[in-house]
Amino acid sequence: MSLRINDIAPDFTAETTQGTIHFHDWIGDGWAVLFSHPKNFTPVCTTELGTMAGLEREFTKRNVKIIGMSVDPVDSHDKWKDDIKIATGFNVEYPLIGDKKLEVAKLYDMLPAESGGSSEGRTPADNATVRSVYVIGPDKKIKLILTYPMTTGRNFDEILRAIDSIQLTAKHQVATPANWQQGDDVIITAAVSNEDAIERFGSYETVLSYLRKAKQPS
């Protein structure tokens, strides 16, 4: 079965560049981003992991831990970090999972079931589906799923933007419109009456009978 939003994120035990982790315990009471890449020592992946290293402080400000993974062994991750620093200027200090037996990749539908039992002898093309992102909340439920093709590097600023929206809308009865950025107007959900909207937001704009906008709540 495919994973869906609001499913409990599958728990697992894995070896990482920071030792063995038990995923749910590692997440703790905060948020997490699990993101995978096709293969170490490849160009797009190198830029992605460096970009995430540069943004780690932004994720931390939002109480979000980040963890990367591929089916490469842990020692390969450690060797690759030097190249990432040369290419991007950033040190990878977050953990990287070494999923040699494809266990996590299959658990999270990052690979087809017939991908084989290990990473031995593989090529990047064998793992074309492994460029995925899972945002997981403190309740261990999946809040967002993204999967990109191998040739398209991810926009991690968009993942931060989505987390801002998810955290805001979890706290208030609002939604965020297309291309919303922190500080922009929000949409009042249908569950909030006009009277409640005035009490909550002070004022709001009725664009359509089903579309009401208000200033972003704090």
Q: Which positions are annotated as active-site residues?
A: 45
Q: Amino acid identity of 92?
A: V
* Greatest distance between any 2 Cα atoms in the chain: 64
CA dihedral 116, 122, 128, 132 (to 10 degrees): 80
User: CA-CA distances (angstroms) from residue 66 to 40, 78, 126, 145, 213?
Assistant: 18, 17, 25, 15, 33
| 35, HSE (Cβ side, Cα atoms, 13 Å) | 24
Question: For 17, phi and psi rounded to 5 degrees?
Answer: -70, -10
Asked if 21 and 116 touch (Cβ cutoff 8 Å), the reply is: no
Distance CA 73, CA 15 (A): 9
Would you give the DSSP letter of residue 200?
H
Q: What is the CA radius of gyration of the chain?
A: 19
73 contact partners, CB below 8 Å, separation of at least 6: 98, 100, 119
Q: Amino acid identity of 9?
A: A
